[in-house]
Structure 1
Amino acid sequence: MSFSFKKIGPHVAVVFVFIVTALLYFSPVLSGKKMFQSDIQQYRGMAKEQMDFRAQTGEEPYWTDAAFGGMPTYQLGAKYPNNWIKSLDLGIRFLPRPADYLFLYFISFYILLLVLKLDWRYAALGALAFGFSSYLIIILGVGHNAKAHAIAYMPLVLSGILLTFRRNYIWGFILTTLAMALEIVANHVQMTYYLMLLVMVLGIAYLIDAIRKKELPHYFKSVGILMLAVVLAVGTNAASLMATSEYSSFSTRGKSELTITPEGSPKEDVAGLDKAYINQYSYGISETLDLFIAGLYGGSNSEPYNKDSEFANFLLKQGVPPAQIESVYGQFGLYYWGSQPGVSGPAYLGAIIIFLFVLGLFLVRGRLKWWLVGGTVLSLLLSYGSNLAWFTDLFIDYFPLYNKFRAVTSIQVIAELCVPVLAIFGLYKMLQLTEPAERKLIALKWTTGITAGLALIILLFKGSLFSFAGENDAYFIQNFGMEFMNAVKEDRKALLINDSIKTLVLVLLAAGLLWFYLKKKVSESQALIVLTLLIVFDLVQVDRRYVNAENFMAARLVEQPFQQSAADQQILQDTTRYRVYEQSIGLNGARTSYFHSSIGGYHGAKPGRLADLADFYLYQGKMAPLNILNVKYVITQNEEGEEQVQINPNANGNAWFVQNVKLVPNADTEILALENLNTLQTAVVDQKFENQLGSLIFPEDSLASISLVEHQPNYLKYKATTGAQRLAVFSEVYYPNGWNAYIDGNQVDYIKADYILRALMLPEGSHTIEFKFEPQVIETGSKISLASNIILILILLGSLFYSFRKRNQKVKTEA
């Protein structure tokens, strides 16, 4: 028993340290405060109707009318039946948010290094370095929780894969299945896709090694086991994956039916995002150096206030009251001057970690080194986007699904993972006795020369190497003068100088410490302790610039991120069903959705047809989409910036009968036909629905009526009376993959009208019409999830029984 505790004890202690460290870094959570995250604020606006419905009824709606005129909630935190893996995930993330994600960074990376057979001390150091790398902290600050969630499980997935390749087939299979299932449940397809690219690099490295060692049967056996593990992991998440896939084709991530642009020119035929949109955030090639020197390119748009800065002094000279300087200082967002439109902070990996990474290039050999280096290089090359267009275009054009993702800089997460692994292995090789001392000394000299030399060159030749000029500087010079911009440039230069000096000092301290170790002046444990302190100090000091106690506020303010304006209060006096459009937000904000049914919203995958209508009409100042989507109120701003509520007298209402139908041959003519159309009288219908119409002209009937009598997010009920067969049009988004129509309790077919709406042929007489959101994909997916979960549990129990019996047999044999 004592032996077992001695073996397990250090790991228990490390886990405890991780918990305490995560809580200390985000210490405001201990007093009940919550982090204000801009993206989560928007999410709360989008999901409020869904969460309210769930709280009131105990049911899951799977549809919301609060955003974009109506959309599935599959990407808004929907809860699926039989999602046992989600329960496991919540159990692992037991700390208050966002400390839970930081802990997850730590523990997942720690397991990876243990699987790679590193001593627990090195694994703990590596975990702290990974978890505190600035990009991983900054994304928590802005609310990219799903991204952080998916990144955190990446090392765990790699652990299962590596365990399998080490011939531990059973536990490698189980760990890969569980880790991959957790990775998928994080629900950030882009990060999971990037993980797949890294796994491909790893697979190639292991294949080459297997060929060289003549171990191809083992290699392909491992690949087969891993493929089964992924299939089972996918099965456990079947409902969410199938639902997301179904919605994807309906969203802006799918292929549009349109072949023309709003200007009438031919539209590029692509099934995915526009290349310019994909590459909007492209990493500058020389910006790679901010992995090593945090403030090289100004850090972020909004650096922490510095009362001694040149810009603060400039504002003081211009007569800005001292009490207001900090407020004015933070309004401009001037300091970042790299290639991207703006950043919340640098992707800083740490001066010492980069130093150790270079050391690892000299000391580490074999397949481990090459898949780590390969993953790092691939991620950097792809992060350059339009700055290395030929390489990026290769992936956009030929790699499946790559064109579905924007912000190419996000792929740097692969470097964020690979660099610390090789760095810790470089340190391990340096501090272990297996490597010849002479080889270590040569590696240390070269590493110090490269890293310290680079920092010194940047420091000494900054004026000739860098312009300190950003893409938007011309605008500020034109509006505020050259003296204004010169002050900003001096601050940019100061950031570079200060961080270059810090990097140089840290590199020299690390190099000196390792030199003393080689000279037997310090022990391995002493070197590890000092390096851990230096690395954590370095990373946390940079992290604190961008994510600190100021990001937290009272829980009530976070949970209620939007406050009612006078305009909201005025609109909410109307208790009928209608939609609202806020011009200042458009389709890119969820504030309106928090209070009203809105045609705006905040999501990376907007409904495709609504986005098309916005391009063709709303952004051109034309009202057609507002009328057919029953936008009764428009929130505008006057010249003084005050909100005003405008009533749209032409809103069509919740449902109406038309007198005739205009058949069109395709989506192009359908969307163009709306421009000068009286949609209350005429419906535009694609000719593929002609057989369901029966007639194109309907007699006038002054007594015909249709009205909405009951509505919930996933249910609509109408009462209608007509003296003859008529076509009813509903101001509801056409989504055939779940919405079913019923007339007097009998399910019937419905069609698409006016490019985005539902329409239904109604027979003569008085009828009850119902629309119910009954997505078959959820029912089918949940059954697959249940079966997969049961299989996984049976395999786990069987493996535990097999291991227990094998151990008992070994004990009996030894006895």
Structure 2
Amino acid sequence: MKLSAKAIFTNLIVIALFIITALAYFNPVLQGKAIFQSDIAQYKGMAKERNDYKETTGVESYWTNSAFGGMPTYQLGANYPHDYVKKLDRLIRFLPRPADYLFLYFIGFYILMLCMKVEYRLAVLGALAFGFSTYLIIILGVGHNAKAHALGYLPMVLGGITLVFRKKYLLGFILTSIAMALEISANHYQMTYYFMLLVLILGLVYLIYAIKDKQLKHFFSSVGILILAVVLAIATNATSLMATKEYADWSTRGKSELTINPDGSAKEINNGLDRGYITHYSYGVTESLDLLVPRMFGGSNHEDLGKDSKAYEFLIGQGLQPSRALEFSKDLPLYWGDQPGTSAPAYIGVVIFFLFVLGLFLVKRKFVLWLLGGTMLSLFLSWGKNFPALTNFMIDYFPLYNKFRAVSSIQVILELCAPILAVLGLRELFKSSVKKKVKMKALKFTGIIVGSVLVLIFLMKGFFDFESFRDASMVQRGFPEDLMAMIERDREAVYVNDTIRSLIYIVLTAGVLFLFLRGKVKKNLVVIALGVLLLFDLIGVNLRYVNKDDFVRSRAVERPFQASDFDTAIQQDKEVFRVFDPQEGLNGARTSYFHNSLGGYHAAKPGKLEDLFEYHLYENNVEVLNMLNVKYIIQQDEEGRSFPAVNDDRNGNAWFVERIQPVSSADEEIKALKGLNSKTTAVVNTKAYPRITKLSYEVDSLAAINLVDLRPDAVKYNYSNSSAGFIVFSEMHYPKGWKSFVDGKEVAHIKVNYAFRGMKVPEGNHEIAFKFEPEVVKTGSQIALGSNILLGLVVLGGIVFSFWKPKRKGAKK
């Protein structure tokens, strides 16, 4: 498929437009500023040791000691050999962050539209609609970069699939392979998984039509080509996929060995996440209407109404200083929906919603079926616990669905499908082959449907009390009930205002299209008018939540945490130990930024460590802290100031024990830690390690073990003992990759005390070394290299074929 010089020039202009638009929206990046993203700040805390080690030594380490007592860096920015897909991704995302992700949204959707034979003007319109969808912007504000990254490549993958089903087999195979490789490399498998649900619906619809049109050979050929493309894409990302799978099995995402809960009751056995955790963020059924009225349910937990709020008037009336009243009214808890909280509504734009409904009447049934099917499925699944029949079915029976949390985020599929159908509907409206009567009828019914919904929403306000289930806790925290009543009035006010706002945009959109059908305005003017309406609509909402105020100096982003006095004091201590901040627990990475921490911030935490917290640490079994070599526990004095309390009872980095307490199951192993004297006794599951038969050891008075070298992926000890002994190490036992050596000779180590490393050692003076050499990285890198070479050859062959084929045809003539 050859591109004319005009087409190439047009596409270059479009790319330039996307670059300018992305930089214009995030214009502070041009001043050297960066957006402060809370999740990225946490990531930097988790990854600091790995990043510092790489910068200092040039060596890529695949283990970090700074978070969760030790874990792989597979999900903390690890770079793998022969990861050429990531290099290609960096070429595409060349703009400063987060403008690079906005550009990716635009260009990905634009490519999809071209694959669907949509002319460039409408393709640009759709790309802007998709890129400025409020959810896609807000995730950039809070730092869900991996999610944004994955969402940017989904339209490209869909474009490749579309080409294959259009019988553009070679081009479709190449685009699907490359786009899917980039999608997987983005490393947000939840978004990829949700997209695959849409592909299943598409495949089912195409199969039905293939049977109807007697095109089964083409259908199965297309499916076969796409499967090969996906397999090749997977293979190019073999290292990251294999490493992630390995870690996931060890994390909270894997199957637990335990069959009891901390209280001793029977534990629900499953291979995924807890049902309540999966559905914790579930969209309310009525709340879904904020797809077309952004603040129908208040918008977010932190709305800025300024001096226009009833809360501001109330506080001024109570004698509060205007500055303090204004500060409060810029952070109003207006959200009153079903979710625990939200940073913004999932608003797709009422203009796009109008065009989406229009598309239902005009677009071919084949496209309507899979786009509407994907939209409705994502909407129903986003309701989570509010639609238990479907949600429980998916959790119980649909493969891998129980591996992902926050089901509300599946609405990203809706946010992809809606602008596609909207643009396709607009394309049909502009076609001269479609009768004017059909177009006018479609516009009429669309106006009636969407207008009626908005009028109904306006009238429904009398049925709501605008109370949130969170309000009671706010009153308990000291919020006056009169102030809460004013906040409820503010919720009602934004409900009404945004409903009227949406009605105005609908009238303007319908009016523009009506004038076009009456021949009063030309197509180009219509496209420009719709583009202006669409941008004013979406950007007007987006700027409420992500704007220049979110940008700070780049230094503040690169160094998101500032050392406190107690951090500085702890850093003066040159021993090797861990620090625990109970205020952070397992949901904060600030401590990891400065010290080797017991806590951290990650969606998939080490499963064994979380078990230790739930079964023991939350029950005040401080022996767990001793085993984890926690020297400093951050506490607060009576005035709320933090200080480091010293734990003098810690076990150290490693210690000899006198006896082994045998158990025969994981349940017995974790229960045995209660009341355990870990300095003298180690608990071993002898069913897992049947060779551990010696249960007592002599530890002479001069026995000692010292840590002599510590790097992220290597540890070295010297020890002396007059008798053969057993040593417990205050390091997390990870079953894959860690090798242990005594005097350079590889020996085995085992899991003890449920989560730690233990080793039998000979008498005398010896050196013990641990090295993290993950086989998964070596094997995966070899697969990735071969697959990237194959993909490169396919692309090269496609380029050669595209030039060779026309010449061959010319020779026949």
Shorter-chain TM-score above 0.5:
yes
Match of 1:767 in 2: 766
SS for the counterpart of 1:265 is coil
Offset from partner CA, 1:470-514 (integer Å, 9 cap, x none): 111223345434311210011101111111111001101111111
Aligned residue number for residue 291 of structure 2: 291
Amino acid at match of 2:424: F
How far apart, in 2, do the equivalents of 1:7 and 1:409 lie?
Answer: 40
| Residue correspondence of structure 1 range 713-728 to structure 2 within 5 A | 713-728=712-727
Amino acid across the alignment from 1:506:
Y
User: What are the equivalent positions in structure 2 for 1:57-136 lying under 5 Å apart?
Assistant: 57-136=57-136
SS state of the match for residue 346, structure 2?
Answer: coil
The DSSP-based 3-state class of the residue aligned with 2:631 is: strand
SS for the counterpart of 1:454 is: helix
Structure 1 residues 396, 689: closer, same or farther in 2, change over 3 A? Answer: closer
Q: What does residue 260 of structure 2 align with?
A: 260
**Residue matched to 2:444:** 445
Residue identity matched to 2:469: E
Instruction: Kindly report which structure 2 residues correspond to 1:467-546, keeping only aligned pairs within 5 A, or say none.
Output: 467-477=465-475, 479-546=478-545
Deviation at 1:323, TM superposition (A): 1.5
* Structure 1 residue 621, shift from structure 2 partner: 2.5
Measure, in 2, the Cα distance between the counterparts of 1:76 and 1:229. Answer: 28
Cα distance in 1 for residues equivalent to 2:767 and 2:259: 39
* Corresponding residue number in structure 2 for 1:31: 31
Deviation (angstroms), 1:330: 4.8
Q: Aligned residue pairs: how many?
A: 811
For residue 186 of structure 1, what is the aligned residue in structure 2? 186
- Is 1:422 aligned to 2:453, yes or no? no
2:299 and 2:3 map into 1 onto residues whose CA distance is 49
- Counterpart Cα distance in 2 of 1:475 and 1:586: 22
1:689 Cα deviation after fit: 4.8
Structure 1 residue 3: Cα displacement: 9.2
How high is the TM-score relative to the length of structure 1? 0.98
- Report matched runs for 1:169-318 at 5 Å: 169-318=169-318
Q: Matched residues in 2 for 1:481 and 1:635: separation?
A: 33
| Alpha-carbon offset, residue 641 of structure 1 | 1.5
Counterpart-to-counterpart distance in 1, 2:434 and 2:639: 72
Q: Quote the residue 1:629 is aligned against.
A: 628
CA shift digits 1:217-263 (9 cap, x unpaired): 11001101111111110100000000000001100000111111111
Q: Distance in 2 between matches of 1:191 and 1:386?
A: 20
Equivalent pairs: percent with the same residue? 54
User: Which amino acid in structure 1 is aligned with residue 532 of structure 2?
Assistant: L
Q: Which amino acid aligns with 2:466?
A: F
In structure 1, what is the Cα distance between the partners aligned to 2:723 and 2:559?
A: 50
Give the residue type in structure 1 aligned to 2:267. Answer: K
Letter in 2 for 1:450: I
Equivalents in 1 of 2:596, 2:75: separation in Å? 18
Question: Matched residue of 1:685: which SS?
Answer: strand
**SS state of the match for residue 264, structure 1?**
coil
Map Cα deviations across residues 264-297 of structure 1 (whole Å, 9 max, x no partner): 1111111111111110000000111100000100
Quickly say closer, same or farther: Cα 1:746–1:75, change in 2 above 3 A: same
Tell me, yes or no, if the aligned pair for 2:307 and 2:329 is still in contact at 8 Å.
no
User: Which 4+ stretches in 1 moved above 4 angstroms?
Assistant: none
Structure 1 distance, partners of 2:233, 2:697, is 54
Within the alignment, does 1:733 sit opposite 2:738 as a pair? no
Distance across 2 between alignment mates of 1:708 and 1:326: 56
| Code of the aligned partner of 1:423 | A
Q: How far apart are residue 712 of structure 1 and its match?
A: 0.4
Q: Contact (CA 8 Å) 1:592, 1:598: kept in 2 or not?
A: yes
Cα deviation for residue 622 of structure 1 reads 2.3
Q: Aligned runs of 1:338-349 on 2, under 5 Å?
A: 338-349=337-348
Find the counterpart in structure 2 of residue 809 from structure 1.
808
Tell me how far apart the structure 1 counterparts of residues 571 and 189 of structure 2 sit (CA, whole Å). Answer: 37
1:42 is matched with: 42
C-alpha separation in 2, matches of 1:800 and 1:741: 50
The equivalent of 2:709 in structure 1 is 710
What is the aligned partner in structure 2 of residue 143 from structure 1? Answer: 143
8 Å contact from structure 2 (residues 699, 721) kept in 1: no
Q: Which residue of 2 aligns with 1:798?
A: 797
Q: Which digits, 9 at most, give the CA deviation of each residue in 1:573-599, with x for residues without a partner?
A: 111110000011111000000000001
Number of the residue aligned with 1:782? 781
Q: What is the rounded CA distance, in whole Å, between the counterparts of 1:344 and 1:325 in structure 2?
A: 22
Structure 2: gaps of 5 or more residues: none
Contact 1:350 1:535 in 2 (8 A): yes
CA distance in 2, matches of 1:9, 1:60: 42
One-letter amino acid matched to 1:318: Q
What amino acid maps onto 1:272 in structure 2? G
Pairwise CA distance, 1:69: 0.1
Aligned 8 A contact 2:656 2:699 in 1:
no
Q: Is the 8 A contact 2:672 2:683 kept in 1?
A: yes
Question: What is the deviation of 1:60?
Answer: 0.7
Cα distance in structure 1, aligned partners of 2:157 and 2:747: 46
Q: Secondary structure at the match of 2:242?
A: helix
Displacement of 1:7 in angstroms is 2.3
8 Å Cα contact 1:693-1:761 kept in structure 2? no
| Deviation at residue 460 of structure 1 after TM alignment | 3.2
Distance in 2 between residues matched to 1:104 and 1:184, nearest whole Å: 15
CA offset digits 1:57-98 (Å, max 9, x no partner): 111110000000000000111000000000000000000000
Which secondary structure state, in structure 1, belongs to the residue aligned with residue 219 of structure 2? helix
CA distance in 2, matches of 1:692, 1:318: 75
Question: 1:386-409: per-residue Cα shift (whole Å, max 9, x none)?
Answer: 000110011000111110100000
Counterpart CA distance in 1 for 2:607 and 2:57 is 30
Shift of 1:811: 3.3
The answer to which of 136-145 and 791-800 deviates more is 791-800
Match of 1:576? 575
Shift of 1:709: 0.4
How many angstroms apart in 1 are the aligned matches of 2:248 and 2:120? 43
> Unmatched 5+ residue regions in structure 1?
none
- Counterpart of 2:12? 12
SS at match of 1:507: helix
Corresponding position of 1:356: 355
Instruction: Name the counterpart of 2:585.
Output: 586
Once the two structures are TM-superposed, the CA of residue 327 in structure 1 deviates from its matched residue by: 2.8
Equivalences for residues 307-386 of structure 1 within 5 A: 307-330=307-330, 333-386=332-385
Question: Following the alignment from structure 2 to structure 1, what is the Cα–Cα distance between the partners of residues 193 and 257?
Answer: 26
SS at match of 1:249: helix
For 2:454, what is the secondary structure of its paired residue?
helix
Q: TM-score, normalised by structure 2?
A: 0.98
Deviation at 1:690, TM superposition (A): 4.4
- Is the Cα–Cα contact under 8 Å of residues 362 and 428 in structure 2 kept in the other structure? yes
- Does the aligned pair in 2 maintain the 1:689–1:751 contact within 8 Å? no
